[in-house]
Amino acid sequence: MNDLYRAIEDRKDLKDRVKLIGIGTGNTTFEVDFFRKKYKVPFPLFSDQDYIVHKALGEVRTPYFIGVKLNQDGSHQVFYSKLGGFRNPNKFLEKMLKLSGLA
């Protein structure tokens, strides 16, 4: 995920248009902060100790990725929703850009 973040931040055309966040399902703020420091995570991480976000998303297993496009009119569109990780951050980024219409 750190490599994906860097791939986004390294591209001037994406830096202010594509954002990553992480949700610590079942994790306390302390646990999320420990993880952030241990793995030097440069993007925002949020605690979901009480599983509120997890339940709102249908209690999916992790890792789980959701791509959301924010539209000009303030609405949003989920363009990607899938369980599991990825091997190549650059290929994953290109897939997300194509699916979102940003590529």
pLDDT digit string (tens) for 50-103?
A: 999 999 999 999 999 999 999 999 999 999 999 999 999 999 999 999 999 998
- Cα–Cα distances in Å, from 11 out to 17, 54, 102? 10, 31, 13
Q: Would you list the domain boundaries of the chain? A: 2-97
Could you list the beta-strand ranges (E) of 1-103: 22-25, 45-48, 64-70, 76-83
Identify whether the C-beta of residue 36 lies closer than 8 Å to the C-beta of residue 45: yes
Give the pLDDT confidence score for residue 82 in this predicted structure: 96
Give the pLDDT confidence score for residue 89 in this predicted structure: 97
Please compute the mean of the pLDDT values over residues 8-31 and round it to a whole number: 96
Give the pLDDT confidence score for residue 49 in this predicted structure: 98
Please compute the mean of the pLDDT values over residues 7-11 and round it to a whole number: 96
Q: Encoding tokens for residue 100?
A: 């979102």
Reported pTM: 0.89
Dihedral sign computed on CA atoms, order 22, 77, 64, 12 = negative
Architecture of the domain spanning 2-97:
3-Layer(aba) Sandwich (3.40)
